[in-house]
Structure 1
Amino acid sequence: MTENPPHRLAARIKDRLAADARTVEFGIDVDIHDDVVVLRGQVATARRRALIEAVAREAASGLRIANDVVVVGLPAQSRYKDGTPW
């Protein structure tokens, strides 16, 4: 594994997700199990899910990523008239 204990690496990835302008995603759980970074939570779009994984990969170089983040979508009231999410 890395030189960092798993809990420190998980905290670093969560900090990176919260600080990165591409994600600024709260509510994403990050755990480390047997050199695998496990991401869990819910997001509104597949693009957001992919960005979360990309940021986690940057922060956890060399480790595998298990992206268990679920895309739940947004209700119709949470979209612009053209259908894109807020």
Structure 2
Amino acid sequence: MTEYLPAHIQETLAARAHELGIRVDVRGRVVHLRGEVATEEQRREVEDAARVAAEGHEICNEVHVVAVPEPDGEERLS
């Protein structure tokens, strides 16, 4: 099952946290999560979903929150 764990975690992240761009790396009993999300809430959701999928493993959440600025005015289409 260990060789399938990263894929299982990524499926769970997609289903529970609605995140597709998180990289999952398993080293021994530690699951490393890497990537970017827009909010701290999403970061927590990613970690929570990974804990469910990787029961019994330690989670190292290296996911960064990246602020997405609001657009300046309306966008014009040509």
Larger Rg: 2
Higher relative contact order (CA 8 A, sep 6+): 2
Q: Which amino acid aligns with 2:52?
A: E
- State the match for 2:74 in structure 1: none
CA distance in 1, matches of 2:5, 2:67: 29
How do 1:7-86 and structure 2 match up within 5 A?
7-20=3-16, 23-77=17-71
Q: Deviations over 1:40-76 (max 9, x none)?
A: 0000001100010000001111100000000011112
Give 1:83's aligned residue. none
4+ residue segments displaced more than 4 Å: none
Calculate the TM-score normalised by the size of structure 2.
0.86
In structure 2, runs of 5+ residues without a counterpart are 72-78
Partner of 2:76: none
Kindly provide the amino acid, as one letter, of the partner of residue 29 in structure 2.
D
Aligned length: 71
Across the aligned residues of Structure 1 and Structure 2, the Cα RMSD in angstroms comes to 0.9
Identity of aligned residues (%): 45
